[in-house]
Chain A
Amino acid sequence: MAEETEKGSSLATDQRRGFLTKALAVACGGLATFPPLAAALWAVLDPLRRTAGAGNFVPVADLNNVPADGLPRQFPVIADRVDAWTGFAAEPIGAVYLKRDKGSETVEVLSATCPHAGCFVEMDRESKCFRCPCHNSAFTLDGGIVAPSPSPRPMDSLECKVDKGGGVLVKWQNFYTGIEEKVARP
């Protein structure tokens, strides 16, 4: 009988000591696994810090080469590009459509990236409109939506200026796709 009580009380103290042991075990184990997990998470989130850099003005063409006939022409955007560890000098990084109306000195610029989900919008010369080959979005030559369209917004226009020498400079930017507002990616 006495033996049993003794046993019981020792078990009780065991249990009390047990709690401390458990807490310590969990704490030590957690502490040991925290650094690799934290380091992994930290590094995995690295892309969030990366930005494409504020849109720079990139020369894409000469005003002469944009016929003033109201028909958009496709031009490659050529600029230096960094891809993680590789630096590319003067690489085609995307494409734009330049349009100049009759007798106009100003150029309208549309990004060739579809605002629906990012495919490459092409010009349909025959029907005088833009068409996206992916989900049938169509746009007018000004980039406006041709309804009904899966695209939530017109084609993205880009800022543009013509310098003294007649060079057409375009502010190259990417925008979030699939939303109504035109929001530039950082």
Chain B
Amino acid sequence: MSATSSSSSESQQRAGMLAQLADWFDDRTGYRAFVHEALYERVPGGARWRYVWGSTLVFAFMTQVITGLVLWASYSASAQTAWESVFYIQYEMTGGWLLRGIHHVMAQAMVVLLALHLMQVVIDGAYRAPREVNFWLGLILMMLVLGMALTGYLLPWDQKGYWATRVATNLAGLVPLVGPSLQQLVVGGPDYGHHTLTRFFALHAGFLPATLVLFLVLHLTLFRKHGLHAKQPVTKPDGLFWPDQVLKDAVAMLAVMAVVLGVILLPALRAMLAGEPLVTGHFGAELGAPADPSQPYAAARPEWYFLFLFQFLKVFEGWGATGEFLGAIIVPGLTLGVMFLMPILGRWSLGHRFNVVFTLAVLCGAGLLTAMALHEDYYALWADRSAYADVEQLLNETGGDPQKLAMALGNDASKQAVFEKRRHEYEAIRKSEAFLVAVKQAKADAERAIELAGRPEKIPPTGALALIRQDPLSQGPRLFAQHCASCHAHVDPAAAEAEAVLAKSSAANLFEFGGLSWARGLLDPAQVAGPAYFGNTAHKDGDMVSFVTDDLSDTETWKPAEVKAVIVALAAEAGLPTGGAAAGQVKKGRELMADTDRCGSCHAYGDNETELGYAPDLNGWGSREWLVGIITDPTHQRFYPDTNDRMPSFGVGRDGGTPTLSAAEIGLLADWLRGSWYRPAASVHETAGVNQ
């Protein structure tokens, strides 16, 4: 016997054993008939591309189940851990960004596929007898998918999910009779918090998908029972599901997956080509700043596929509560109602035509509303604001007062009408500008939150929001804008807008206060009486200004090297970088500051025994402690007990009442002004380090 024939008989033997095993298994389960039925379904008129949508939807759902289960394994639903765990998935877990990216983008793909599937079914009249029930099942499946999209949006517990959900749940409260209770049930109490998350998560990952699977099984069973609804007229010979249609389905699935991966990876590719450092966490799905009910979020928008509903609410301007009720409940409800009636309407050919037109109209309407929403939001990107300079000017002059406006326009009705129209356009630009600013702010906030969460110390148990509320870089600009900016500027003198900003300010520019360049400007005869220092204050004609302009400019009494030494010593006092100044230079400067013939004649410093009260204390000038002191109470002996110019004592309450700013807030302001905040290790040498 040759070697080959022995091996072939062996393989025959093995095949025989396998067949026996298969027989045994079939005997117990009947799997062959089952597989046969599943695969050898007749496709009337042969396989077609237009039949792939249902299969791609099942595929998309399976993708969501796979990625969703693994996301679930890393997700923690509570107000202090949801954002944090999603951050961890996105930025720390290996492959987390890809996993979340696929889940996020596929969810959107699913909505698109749903629309396509629905359109194909309606256009083909596939809802006609005996497939009515299956059409209804399909509509229920659609609502379940949309429900999962809606509930999923909240789970990262970031600003955009939070605010979008607030609006959505408030609208649910408009349902007649049960609305308020319904709302309270989904929210999990009177306010948004842990139980909103746990409930949304239970809906998103438990109740809705379980129901969906149930309806999907029914949908597919009925689909098999009635067979595929062939596109009429059938001209080609019948085909088989396996492999003809399966091949087309598989190719479609591949295309869907390719698009999803493309959406995720293209930005990465672009970054790579641009030579930017690749942070995988930046790709896939976005993560905003943690939800904060006390922080306005003007960039609040729902996910793009709900944008049409969002825009629809604006259509009912001026309709009051009826409008909102119509827009949020009645019209969407009626639209769904008509869809449920389609199989019945479709019995008449006219009815079928109505169905097709209606479906297309709804989809086009949704598309149009989406475009309108986007147009409104991004209008400022292409609109020319300068063309409305006259409108702006007139509004400024009249303060928008209708009577004054009419006067200015010469009480000419046609002029007024033109003006009103242009004013409307001008306001649209401004609204869009505000939105774009908000989007930019949201992006910056998100980036900072992620930077803070990525510190080596990790996120404290109180959650990322606490981290942000204690972060000078996040809170400083807000506090400054609210409490300081009405007098003080904070603008880089080299910036283009500096001049305009400074002209409007009535107190010193605090940009990099205490640092070398600030001190240099203070002691510069050309600047000290300018708008960046004392120019717009009561100290304009004070002793410091005349000292700098008269004494310091006299190179006989003050040698340039001495002035330089004082500048360096001031920065050193503030604990800010001295530009690598020699210790001797700092020492020299300090001696000059203490010298009672020099700075020390007015200012207390070191052991010079000059009394406090006449000029600000130079001990620790510009340091955190000094800044906290002056913000708390500028009328304190150390600062301006007699000559304080309009600055409120932010840390002192009147008659023991609550002060304007808490000690923590004042600390945040001081730290922010001094540029003292957390910087990730990589950028430490790029930005000025802080010594103290």
Residues of A within 8 A of B (CB): 44-45, 47-48, 50-52, 59, 61-65, 73-74, 76-77, 83-86, 92-95, 112, 116-120, 122, 124, 126-128, 131, 133-136, 147-150, 152-153, 165-167, 174, 176-180, 185-186
Contacts and interface: CB of A to CB of B under 8 A. Distances in A.
A74 B483 CA distance: 10
A85 B78 CA distance: 10
B655 A178 contact: no
A8 to B, nearest CB: 36
B36 to A, nearest CB: 36
B656 interface: yes
Given A167-B658, A178-B173, A117 B163 contact: no
B318 A84 contact: no
A84 B166 contact: no
A180 B319 CA distance: 11
B328 to A, nearest CB: 7
- Ordered nearest first, which 3 A-B pairs have the shortest CB separation? A148-B318, A92-B294, A83-B193
Contact of B191 (A52, A59, A65, A152): A52
5 contacts: A50-B190, A84-B193, A92-B469, A148-B317, A177-B173
Interface in B193-223: 193-195
B431 A178 contact: no
A116 B321 CA distance: 8
A76 B469 CA distance: 13
Contacts of A61: 658, 660
A62 B657 contact: yes
Contact of A74 (B190, B482, B659): B482
Contacts of B184: 47-48, 50
A147 B316 CA distance: 12
B324 A93 contact: no
Given A64-B654, A120-B163, A149 B318 contact: yes
A159 B478 CA distance: 27
B317 A150 contact: yes
Given A62-B660, A178-B325, A120 B298 contact: yes
B336 to A, nearest CB: 20
A178 B321 contact: yes
Nearest to A90: B662
Given A61-B658, A84-B189, A122-B296, A150 B313 contact: yes
Given A50-B189, A52-B190, A119-B300, A177 B79 contact: no
Contact of A93 (B171, B294, B431): B294
Contacts of A112: 296
B170 interface: yes
Nearest to B427: A127
A40 B316 CA distance: 40
A167 B657 contact: yes
A165 B657 contact: yes
Contacts of B174: 178-179
Nearest to B185: A47
B341 interface: no
Given A165-B655, A178-B171, A131 B79 contact: no
Nearest to A164: B655
B181 A95 contact: no
B438 interface: yes
B245 to A, nearest CB: 41
A83 B191 contact: yes
A154 B328 CA distance: 20
B297 interface: yes
A147 B188 CA distance: 35
Contacts of B542: none
A25 B657 CA distance: 72
Interface in B272-317: 292-300, 310, 313-314, 316-317
B93 interface: no
B431 A136 contact: yes
A64 B651 CA distance: 12
Contacts of A76: 294
Nearest to B188: A47
Given A52-B191, A150-B314, 6 more contacts: A83-B193, A116-B324, A117-B167, A120-B163, A120-B298, A149-B317
Nearest to A59: B658
A133 B298 CA distance: 5
B324 A120 contact: no
A95 B313 CA distance: 25
Nearest to B293: A94
Nearest to A148: B318
A168 B665 CA distance: 19
Contacts of A133: 296-300, 434-435, 438
Interface in B144-186: 163, 166-167, 170-171, 173-174, 180-181, 184-185
Nearest to B486: A67
Given A47-B188, A84-B194, A152 B324 contact: yes
A65 B259 CA distance: 55
B80 interface: yes
B399 interface: yes
Contacts of A135: 310, 313-314
Given A62-B658, A128-B400, A119 B167 contact: yes
A99 B499 CA distance: 31
Contact of A118 (B170, B296, B298, B328): B170
Contacts of B79: 83, 86
Contacts of B187: 47
Contact of B297 (A92, A120, A128): A120
A93 B291 CA distance: 12
Given A86-B79, A133-B299, A133-B435, A185 B163 contact: no
B521 interface: no
A134 B318 contact: no
Contacts of A178: 170-171, 173-174, 321, 324-325, 328
Given A119-B163, A178-B324, A65 B185 contact: no
A117 to B, nearest CB: 4
A82 to B, nearest CB: 9
